[in-house]
Amino acid sequence: MKQDKHGRSARSTAFAGGLALLLAAGASQAACKVNIGVLLALTGSMAEIGQDNLRSAQLAIKGVNAAGGVGGCTVDPIVYDSQTEPTVAVNQAKALVDLKGVRVIFGSNSSGTTIAELRSVTAPAKVLLVSPSAASTSFTKLAKEGYTKGLFYRGVMSVGGEGPVVAYVARHMAGWKHVAIVYVNNAFGVTYAKETIKAFEAMGGKARLIPYNSDQPDYQSIVTDALKDKPEALVLLAHPKGGQAILRDWLQSGGPQHVLLADSVATQQFVDKSGGKLLDGGWSIKDAAVKSPWYELYRKNFMAAYKRTPHIPYDTNSYDAMAITLLAMDKAGTQDARKIFAAAREITAPGGLVVHPTPAGFKAALEAIAKGKKIHYVGVTGALRINEYGDVSNPVVVGRIKDGKLDYYKTLGVDEVDSIVKHHKL
């Protein structure tokens, strides 16, 4: 079959038609475009996260386009705002599917908005939904029930898996025996907290759960409740906005400096706004393999594009989730959601040509796919694995706070993370 300069066969034109691509009459193959819906929280309570997740996803799109695109066509994202509201997310998803004809939607950020669009729009329409950061175990449950199997995957580990890892860091790495677990009272936080306390107690520790609502006018009552049985440390499973107030109140009320910051609050920006050097000796845990050349290249490209370093939670997850999705679309060569899902699982499974998110890596990946060869994508967050339910296993980075700076401490690799989850998830 005839190939172009990127090693692509003539399947590009057929692929374009099958995905409802914007291919103008008489246009050359190089001029074709493939749409992907992007539905993230650009306003609302998670706007700061959503905006930077979009920036990271756009870097991945730029990298794949420079290497030859999807099916030989330029990826053209259609970006909509969920406003961090489930009803808005549903309406925007409907517009992307019904009016724009997209067959793949990237987003949204929060579990609440993502599950709303999954149930109401994408699953019924057999459209693939990929979230960079929705971590609720509800998605696993829906997949196991057969409702969304093959129609959804994510770029972040489920809290059902991450809870035991948080417990492991608190109990075995920090050495704490008695902690207060303060968590945001939503689909993300409730399950996260339950999985964390079950594992922590199974490891011989003592803990108590204290929920908070993100729209509370004051958090002092939460802190007073958390301190009443004199825990030696605070495990914070929160979103940045409420989490900052809680941590400041914790320190001002005489709470111990021993803290563990998880996920969206495990950033330098959060440390700066919540206590700085007062948090020295604290721990953090998040998804990202920061000690890798691919991460350093990502940081460099982010700085060049946006004039600052990335510092928002799930940026790296967003980058890798988009890169995996685009490579999977290319491999599947079809608009069928379940075939794209299967392709994503295959390219994140060990074996075959290892490719990284670099100009040469993306080019090698697309050329190998065109030749029918197996590839293994190892990205900014390291080696990810997507299982049959759309859940992800990924490396986890443990950090320490010293002199007010959140520094790298250790990476727990995929095998180590899987082992912790296997032995401590109840």
Structural domains of the chain, ranges and CATH numbers in brackets: 11-156+314-392 (3.40.50.2300), 159-289+395-424 (3.40.50.2300)
Which tokens belong to 31? 């001029």
The DSSP secondary-structure symbol of 3 reads B
Burial of 393 (C-beta count, 10 Å sphere; 0-12/13-18/19+): buried
Q: State the amino acid at position 292 in one-letter form.
A: S
In whole angstroms, give the CA distance from residue 118 to residue 26. Answer: 37
> pLDDT digits over 7-30, tens only?
444 444 444 444 444 333 333 445
Strand partners, 260: 235, 283
Residues 357, 359, 362, 364: what is their CA dihedral angle, to the nearest 10 degrees?
A: -120
In whole angstroms, give the CA distance from residue 32 to residue 10. Answer: 13
Report the chain (426 residues): mean pLDDT per 10 consecutive residues: 41 45 40 94 88 96 97 97 95 98 94 93 97 90 90 90 93 97 90 93 96 89 96 94 92 95 88 93 82 87 92 86 98 95 96 95 97 96 90 89 94 86 68
In whole angstroms, give the CA distance from residue 234 to residue 260. Answer: 6
The pLDDT, as a whole number, for residue 313 is 75
156, 314 Cβ separation under 8 angstroms? yes
Burial of 103 (C-beta count, 10 Å sphere; 0-12/13-18/19+): buried
The pLDDT, as a whole number, for residue 288 is 65
The pLDDT, as a whole number, for residue 312 is 72
Q: What is the model's pTM?
A: 0.82
In the chain, the N- to C-terminal Cα span, in Å, equals 53
Nearest to 153 by CA among 376, 330, 346, 391: 391
In whole angstroms, give the CA distance from residue 61 to residue 225. Answer: 46
89, 117 Cβ separation under 8 angstroms? yes
> pLDDT digits over 149-196, tens only?
899 999 988 888 889 999 999 999 999 999 999 999 987 889 899 999
Which tokens belong to 136? 């609720």
Q: What b/e sequence results for 205-243 when a residue is b if at least 16 CB atoms lie within 10 Å of its CB, and e otherwise? A: bebebbbbeeeeeebeebbeebbeeebebbbbbbbbebb
374, 351 Cβ separation under 8 angstroms? yes
The pLDDT, as a whole number, for residue 143 is 93
The pLDDT, as a whole number, for residue 28 is 45
For residue 115, what are the CA distances in angstroms to 100, 169, 313?
Answer: 21, 29, 20
The pLDDT, as a whole number, for residue 209 is 98
Strand partners, 400: 283, 407
Helices marked H in 203-234: 220-227
Nearest to 303 by CA among 293, 313, 311: 311
Rg over alpha carbons for the chain, rounded to the nearest Å, is: 21
Beta strands 128-131 and 396-402, pairing class: unpaired
Which tokens belong to 135? 């971590």
